[in-house]
């Protein structure tokens, strides 16, 4: 059995504390589908309640750390200490429609990482319905429960399954996405859009997906997943193939063999 560090134990415990209520709310939302009031308000409440539980648990263990939360924004703490980055419900639209694919996401960012720059050191993506806990620690690999994760070993685009997120209703650049899709789709075995960036990246780390691209995301969508992919032996860059994914808000993830091929397709599409 692989032992979590103390910090990951704290993160895992917080996620599991928030999970039962989310599972109950998810079962409830399927009944709300038919109500006239609609489930949207209900889901935003579910989101906020889950976040409250996460914040309480994390604060209990690390009272002086800052927290960046999707709903609550930046919560103050010691600027020299790490901060938690929290998404209580990644895949809200799935949740809202009764689609069982969403996750609780927690990452830790150290303000004094390599070269004195902020760096993600711990990541957890927990799927409450399947009880799958994907976790990574910098330098200690990526894991699903106690099973070591490796990105897929496929080398041919023609055999590869690629994940993405599709721009919608004011989110993302549809023209840019269309050009990338037009370049990638004819070369690969399939493209999937499952609706949770955190799980997409966790699945790249687990070798279920061979690659992934998306832009216009928030830190809580990608921080944990990026660490998972890197610790599973993969690469995450921006669309130019540089280590500027967060700064440019472009995310291209794959194993070493496929990453350069995908990057060429994407870069050519955007010329």
- At residue 1 the predicted structure's pLDDT band, cuts being 50, 70 and 90, is low
Our count of domains for the chain comes to 2
Domain carrying residue 163: 157-270
Q: What pLDDT sits at residue 114? A: 83
Domain boundary among 148, 181, 207: 148
State whether 56 and 161 are in the same domain.
no
State whether 136 and 183 are in the same domain.
no
State whether 140 and 165 are in the same domain.
no
Share of the chain above pLDDT 90, in %: 82
Q: How far from 56 is each of 71, 126, 203, CA to CA, in Å?
A: 14, 18, 29
Q: Could you please report the per-residue DSSP string of 59-121?
A: HHH-TTSEEEETTTEEEP--TTS-EEEEEEEETHHHHHTT-S--EEEEEEEETT-GGGS-EEE
Q: What pLDDT sits at residue 71? A: 86
State whether 142 and 195 are in the same domain.
no
Give residue-wise pLDDT tens across range 198-232: 999 999 999 999 999 999 999 999 999 999 999 99
Is-contact 157 131, C-beta < 8 A?
A: no
* Averaged pLDDT for residues 59-70: 96
Q: What pLDDT sits at residue 42? A: 66
State whether 144 and 181 are in the same domain.
no
What does residue 80 show for φ and ψ, rounded to 5 degrees?
-85, -10
Looking at every residue in the chain, the average pLDDT score rounds to 93
Q: What pLDDT sits at residue 168? A: 84
State whether 105 and 165 are in the same domain.
no
- At residue 98 the predicted structure's pLDDT band, cuts being 50, 70 and 90, is confident
CATH number at residue 54: 3.30.540.10
Can you point out the beta strands (E) in the chain?
A: 66-69, 73-75, 83-90, 103-110, 119-127, 132-137, 141-144, 147-148, 161-164, 190-192, 211-215, 235-237, 250-254
State whether 168 and 139 are in the same domain.
no
State whether 85 and 141 are in the same domain.
yes
* Averaged pLDDT for residues 73-88: 96
Domain boundary among 103, 129, 148: 148
Tokens of 239: 């669309």
Instruction: For residue 1, tell me if it sits in a domain.
Output: no
CATH number at residue 188: 3.40.190.80
Distance of CA 200 to the CA centre of its chain: 7
State whether 132 and 180 are in the same domain.
no
* Averaged pLDDT for residues 14-24: 96
pLDDT greater than 90 at residue 45: no
State whether 144 and 161 are in the same domain.
no
State whether 93 and 193 are in the same domain.
no
Q: What pLDDT sits at residue 19? A: 97
pLDDT greater than 80 at residue 30: no
State whether 143 and 166 are in the same domain.
no
- At residue 2 the predicted structure's pLDDT band, cuts being 50, 70 and 90, is low
Give residue-wise pLDDT tens across range 167-190: 987 788 999 999 999 999 999 999
Q: Pairing mode, if any, of strands 73-75 and 141-144?
A: unpaired
């Amino acid at each position: 059995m692989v032992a979590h560090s103390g910090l990951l134990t704290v993160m895992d415990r917080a996620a599991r504390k928030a999970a039962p209520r989310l599972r109950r709310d998810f079962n409830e939302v399927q009944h709300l589908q038919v109500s006239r009031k609609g489930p949207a308000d209900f889901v935003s409440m579910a989101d906020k309640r889950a976040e409250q539980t996460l914040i309480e648990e994390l604060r209990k263990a690390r009272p002086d750390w800052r927290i960046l939360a999707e709903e609550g924004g930046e919560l103050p703490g010691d600027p020299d200490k790490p901060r938690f980055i929290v998404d209580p419900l990644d895949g809200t639209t799935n949740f809202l429609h009764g689609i069982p694919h969403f996750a609780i996401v927690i990452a830790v960012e150290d303000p004094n990482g390599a070269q004195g720059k902020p760096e993600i050191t711990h990541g957890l993506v927990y799927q409450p319905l399947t009880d799958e806990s994907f976790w990574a620690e910098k330098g200690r690999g990526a894991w699903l429960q106690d099973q070591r994760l490796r990105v897929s070993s496929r080398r041919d685009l023609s055999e590869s399954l690629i994940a993405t997120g599709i721009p919608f209703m004011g989110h993302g650049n549809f023209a840019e996405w269309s050009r990338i899709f037009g370049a990638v789709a004819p070369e690969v075995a399939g493209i999937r859009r499952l609706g949770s960036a955190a799980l997409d990246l966790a699945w790249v780390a687990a070798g279920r997906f061979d690659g992934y691209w998306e832009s216009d995301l928030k830190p809580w969508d990608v921080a944990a997943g990026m660490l998972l992919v890197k610790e599973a032996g993969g690469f995450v860059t921006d669309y130019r193939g540089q280590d500027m994914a967060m700064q440019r808000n472009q995310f291209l993830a794959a194993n070493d063999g496929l990453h350069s091929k995908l990057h060429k397709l994407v870069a050519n599409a955007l010329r």
